[in-house]
Amino acid sequence: MTMALVAFLLLIAPADPVPAVGPKTGSLVIDGGGQTAQTRERFVALAGGCESEFVLIPTATEADEINREMLEDDFVEQFRVKNVTVLHTRDRAEADSEEFVAPLKTATGVWFKGGRQWRLVDAYMGTRTEREIKAVLAKGGVIGGSSAGATIQGSYLVRGAREGNHIMMARGYEEGFGYLRGVAIDQHLLTRGRPDDLVEVIDRKPELLGLGIDEPAAVVVKGDRLEVIGSSVVGIYDGKDHDGKRYYFLVPGEQFDLRSRTRVARAPSTVSRAAATSSKPAGPNPSAKPALDEFIKSHADSAWEMARKIWDWAEVGYQEKQSAALLADALQAGGFRVERGVAGIPTSFLATVGSGKPVIGVLGEYDALPGLSQEAVADRRARPGATAGHGCGHHLFGVASASACLALSEQVRAGKIEGTLRFYGCPAEEGGSAKAFMVRAGLFNDCDAVLHWHPSSQNSAGSESSQARIAVKFRFHGTSSHAAAAPEVGRSALDAVELTNHAAEMLREHTPDFTRIHHVVTAGGNAPNVVPDFAEVFYYIRHPRSLVVQTLYPRLLKCAQAGALATETRLETQYLGGILEIVPNQTLSRVVRANLSQLNDLKYDEQEAGFVARIQKTLADPPSLNTIAGITERTGQGGGSGSTDVGDVSWVVPTVGFSTACWVPGTAAHSWQAVAAGGTTIGKKGMILAARVLAATGSDLFFSPDLLRLARDEHRRRLAGRTYQSLLGPDQKPPLDYRLAPTSAGPSLGPQ
């Protein structure tokens, strides 16, 4: 054959068609949530390997401010790469700037984190950033993303409504970034009970192809060829009937032609065909859950009676004698073995049922906050005779956890569940660090997993961390005298507090990003004509990383020492201990999200809706009441804004939490509005939902040793060789008096 003939044959041979749906060059990795190691490895390989340049875009998350260093470190650890830049802004002008997009010009891999996809639209749609991201494909790179970062890659955007992700089609938020043309992408398909949701979209827009990606599954797209990876399924929504359903599933290893909308290759899979044809998430012993649900619902009124008693008592940290006794007695009556006063704390207790492995723990809290007395009404009205209030909803927290344990214990005692269930009665979460003392006492050493939850103004779940925190009281002792007749004799303890506070304000400017330092003066004298001989100020220091908090405390201590030196007063330091940031666990959070999604049936009656309307008039910018039907994704947001001693627990055992809507949407924690709603049936409904989710999740864990193994493996990986290092003092005892009125004498528990 002559060279001329070869050239002629090549000339007339049909070329590979230009992709009609997928990218012309480059690749996409679209993850349904809960990304697997396989997904991350494929993404890195398609970008050119671990030495390549990567860009991480976390803008879909709720937080306006992000911890770039933490996000970069997490990405490097999880994806095993060396070079990553975090790009994040809410400012479209910045997104249009050359300086902002510069990292995209050298990147060969871009990853979108999860959250809410409308935030990506608001920040980047039509900007230079959007164009430069797409240019990564043009140079043969890869674009990937999980959850919201998956949905944004389609040309049609589902769940884009600001009001909540339960709305599938939202005017003004229907256009995605269009890496897959003519495609709508949904995520968390079976895990969150969404298999039918895309049907509505395809019925109204039949020209679209729908992809529903479960977690932990993903698709890799090159041109018009789609391959399923991971360990779950991908739903295909093509507008046709498939054995009575409007969709069918692809399993890992299968390939799909996006142009012709047909399967083109099949491969062996770890997901069975039977599981792939089910519209429900595969779960361990799902028949156990209806009985749990029925138990909790049938005991809802008695649970609410307990919660209202704890709400009425409103006992502050380490003083929760009645609240702890009420919960412990209820669990003991339900067949639990109760041990009271553990870890040297009179108001703590353990309640255990069953024996052997696995050991599943459930946390319960019940302390109130000082200064938040409030009646269960929609205007500011303190309760007569009360000074504290449940502004963080711990009356609901403890009772919901106990209700879930009582439901599970029925099946433990009946022999339907094998293992040990343990309720942890945890006092003084608000600044008392009780769980840190309980961890130090070894009370969690045999646990395989620990569950917790928290009241909120919205439903949320995910693998979010928290802020580490150190608490300290600075007490100054001076000399009293007549402030007018003999001021030269006096040495003002209040002056020392004021100088300490001023120095701390100066310190703020020179601390790492995301540091929080706040205080309250708890004693400062009683009469203006008496030089105060005693004054006290109570400080918190917070940061997403406990190592940073540890470096900040000595600097704050110097501020107090300087205040004492300048005023010739004596400083007494009461170090109240510290708590660590939460170690997230995405393996467990996926289980919680699935149960919360399936069980969330929150609806308010006319009276409750009226209460909501009146409360929302007192709020600055309240969201729609419809938000109670949705679930906010909390995964991947760096460190949450609050602190909790749950963090210490999470360092020694895989731990997971969530929140339910117990307050009016838009309500801040630690507010009178939270106290008010928590005393109404709005709080009751959120509490009962939380109990149901806890019980369902506990059931899943008892019946799934593989799930516990995966959670343990993730926990070990996240610790990366680090060990639990408490922020408590070496010989520190629980500060049982930290909520009592300050006195001029007290123990010095910290460094001077």
Q: DSSP string spanning 310-365?
A: HHHH--BTT--HHHHHHHHHHHHHTT-EEEESGGG-TT-EEEEEEESS-EEEEEEE
Peptide bond into 216 cis (omega under 30): yes
**Residue 287 or residue 429, greater confidence:** 429
Burial letters for 122-147: b for 16+ Cβ neighbours within 10 Å, e otherwise?
ebbbebbbbebbbebbeeebbbbbbb
Residue 258: name the closest of 287, 237, 242, 279 by CA: 237
For residue 636, what pLDDT band results from cuts at 50, 70 and 90?
Answer: low
- 673 pLDDT above the threshold of 90: yes
**Residue 633 or residue 579, greater confidence:** 579
Place of tokens 């749906």: 21
Which numeric CATH code is attached to 307-465+582-718? 3.40.630.10
Rounded Cα distance, 650 and 590, in Å? 17
195-226 pLDDT, tens digit per residue, is 889 999 999 999 999 999 988 899 999 999 99
Q: What is the mean pLDDT of residues 177-191?
A: 92
Give residue 283's pLDDT.
Answer: 42
Q: What is the mean pLDDT of residues 553-575?
A: 97
459-486 pLDDT, tens digit per residue, is 999 888 899 999 999 999 999 999 999 9
- 189 pLDDT above the threshold of 90: no
For residue 67, what pLDDT band results from cuts at 50, 70 and 90?
Answer: confident
- 10 pLDDT above the threshold of 50: no
- 278 pLDDT above the threshold of 90: no
Q: Which CATH architecture has domain 468-579?
A: 2-Layer Sandwich (3.30)
For residue 279, what pLDDT band results from cuts at 50, 70 and 90?
Answer: very low
DSSP 670: T
Q: What is the mean pLDDT of residues 405-419?
A: 95
Half-sphere exposure of 149 (CA within 13 A, CB side): 29
- 8 pLDDT above the threshold of 80: no
Residue type, 417: I
- 408 pLDDT above the threshold of 90: yes
- 282 pLDDT above the threshold of 70: no
**Residue 205 or residue 638, greater confidence:** 205
DSSP 117: H
Average pLDDT, the chain: 90
Give residue 272's pLDDT.
Answer: 41
Give residue 747's pLDDT.
Answer: 43
DSSP characters for 12-68?
Answer: HSPPPPPPSSS-SSSEEEEE-SS--HHHHHHHHHHHTSTTSEEEEE-TTSS-SS--H
Q: What is the mean pLDDT of residues 352-377?
A: 97
Report yes or no on whether pTM surpasses 0.75: no
Are 279 and 266 a contacting pair, CB within 8 Å? no
**Residue 641 or residue 724, greater confidence:** 724
Rounded Cα distance, 570 and 555, in Å? 18
- 635 pLDDT above the threshold of 70: no
477-528 pLDDT, tens digit per residue, is 999 999 999 999 999 999 999 999 999 999 999 999 999 999 999 999 999 9
Domain residue limits, the chain: 18-276, 307-465+582-718, 468-579
Give residue 1's pLDDT.
Answer: 46
**Residue 637 or residue 574, greater confidence:** 574
For residue 62, what pLDDT band results from cuts at 50, 70 and 90?
Answer: confident
Q: Can you name the residues that pair with 250 across neighbouring β-strands? A: 234
- Please state whether 103 falls in left (phi above 0), alpha (psi between -120 and 50) or beta: alpha
- 376 pLDDT above the threshold of 90: yes
Taking every pair of C-alpha atoms in the chain, what is the biggest distance, in angstroms? 118
**Residue 502 or residue 639, greater confidence:** 502
Give residue 264's pLDDT.
Answer: 86
Give residue 244's pLDDT.
Answer: 81
Residue range 18-276 forms a domain whose CATH class is alpha beta
Q: Can you name the residues that pair with 472 across neighbouring β-strands? A: 539, 575
The phi, psi pair for 612, rounded to 5°, reads -55, -45
Retrieve residue 238's tokens: 């093509």
Give residue 637's pLDDT.
Answer: 45
Give residue 166's pLDDT.
Answer: 82
| 342: number of Cβ within 10 Å | 17
For 270, counting Cβ atoms within 10 Å of its Cβ (0-12 exposed, 13-18 middle, 19+ buried), the class is exposed
- 617 pLDDT above the threshold of 90: yes
Residue 68: name the closest of 44, 84, 47 by CA: 84
Rounded Cα distance, 29 and 250, in Å? 16
Give the rounded percent of residues in the chain with a pLDDT score beyond 90: 78
- 273 pLDDT above the threshold of 50: no
222-266 pLDDT, tens digit per residue, is 999 999 998 888 999 999 988 788 899 898 889 999 999 999 865
Highest-confidence segment of 18-22, 376-380, 631-635 = 376-380
Helix H or strand E encompassing 598:
helix 586-599
Rounded Cα distance, 465 and 583, in Å? 6
Give residue 586's pLDDT.
Answer: 87
Give residue 456's pLDDT.
Answer: 96
Residue type, 1: M
Retrieve residue 113's tokens: 């984190």
Place of tokens 């996000």: 71
101-134 pLDDT, tens digit per residue, is 999 999 999 999 999 999 999 999 999 999 999 9
Place of tokens 């009676």: 305
